[in-house]
């Protein structure tokens, strides 16, 4: 009698625990698929975007929005917009964004922030936009990458980009 009760107790505890563990392992093994959003900005003009939250070396939160804009005539551009909370940082819009992989290879992306502000002489200090198009496909998602955002008030701000996020950004090139 005690043996049957012990088996039932073990099954009652062990089976749900194994099931929960298998779900957690399954979640860890399967890659997260890209979450590309599609928007129609104007007739025939599409925008495809990837939005992620990144933290800098001081723990400040940044919104990283990589997007591809396809205009009605078929031209396309790919940009990266970085947004920090107001008052946290002043981005230096006169210098490019540096992208550095763990092997020491460096790329730069030009600041094109003047395109997003109605008063291009006074851009928002916590927002910057960079042209990724010329370099995006040169970035290898298998090699860790960090962004160095130029700042007016401190040394560069460092943002680490995961391989999955870089792969999501690269997938923008396939959107039409």
Examine residue 4 and state whether it is found in any structural domain, yes or no. no
Examine residue 31 and state whether it is found in any structural domain, yes or no. no
Examine residue 91 and state whether it is found in any structural domain, yes or no. yes
Examine residue 94 and state whether it is found in any structural domain, yes or no. yes
Question: What's the confidence (pLDDT) of residue 98?
Answer: 97
Output the tens digit of pLDDT for each of the chain's 176 residues. Answer: 544 444 443 434 443 444 443 334 333 333 444 488 998 888 889 999 999 999 999 999 999 999 999 998 889 999 999 999 999 899 999 999 999 999 999 999 999 998 888 877 777 899 999 999 999 999 999 999 999 999 998 788 999 999 999 999 999 988 87
Question: What's the confidence (pLDDT) of residue 117?
Answer: 82
Q: Which residues form the domain of 123?
A: 37-174
Closest CA relative to residue 35, chosen from 168, 176, 174, 170:
168
What DSSP string runs through 99-155? EEETTS-EEEE-B-GGGT-SSTTS--TTEEEEE-TTTGGGS-TTS-EEEEE-BSSSS
Examine residue 15 and state whether it is found in any structural domain, yes or no. no
| Cβ atoms 68, 37 nearer than 8 A | no
Full-model pTM: 0.77
Angle at 41 between CA 38 and CA 47, to 5 degrees: 35
**Cβ atoms within 10 Å, residue 90:** 15
Examine residue 29 and state whether it is found in any structural domain, yes or no. no
Examine residue 6 and state whether it is found in any structural domain, yes or no. no
**Cβ atoms within 10 Å, residue 119:** 8
Examine residue 154 and state whether it is found in any structural domain, yes or no. yes
Question: What's the confidence (pLDDT) of residue 101?
Answer: 95
Cβ density class 43-70: b for 16+ within 10 Å, e for less: eeebebbbebebebeeeeebebbbbbbb
Number of domains in the chain: 1
């Amino acid at each position: 009698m005690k043996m049957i009760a012990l088996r039932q107790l073990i099954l009652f505890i062990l089976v749900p625990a194994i099931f929960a563990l298998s779900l957690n392992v399954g979640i860890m093994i399967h890659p997260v698929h890209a979450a590309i959003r599609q928007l129609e900005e104007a007739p025939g003009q599409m925008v495809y975007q990837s939005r992620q939250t990144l933290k800098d070396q001081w723990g400040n939160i940044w919104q990283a929005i990589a997007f591809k804009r396809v205009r009605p005539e078929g031209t396309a551009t790919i940009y990266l917009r970085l947004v920090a909370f107001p008052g946290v940082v002043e981005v230096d819009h006169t210098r490019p964004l540096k992208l550095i992989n763990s092997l020491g290879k460096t790329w730069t992306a030009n600041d094109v922030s003047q395109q997003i502000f109605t008063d291009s002489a006074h851009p928002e200090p916590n927002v910057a936009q960079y042209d990724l198009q010329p370099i995006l496909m040169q970035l290898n998602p298998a090699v860790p990458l960090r962004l160095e955002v130029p700042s007016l008030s401190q040394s560069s701000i460092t943002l680490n980009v995961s391989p999955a996020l870089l792969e999501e950004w690269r997938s923008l090139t396939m959107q039409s």
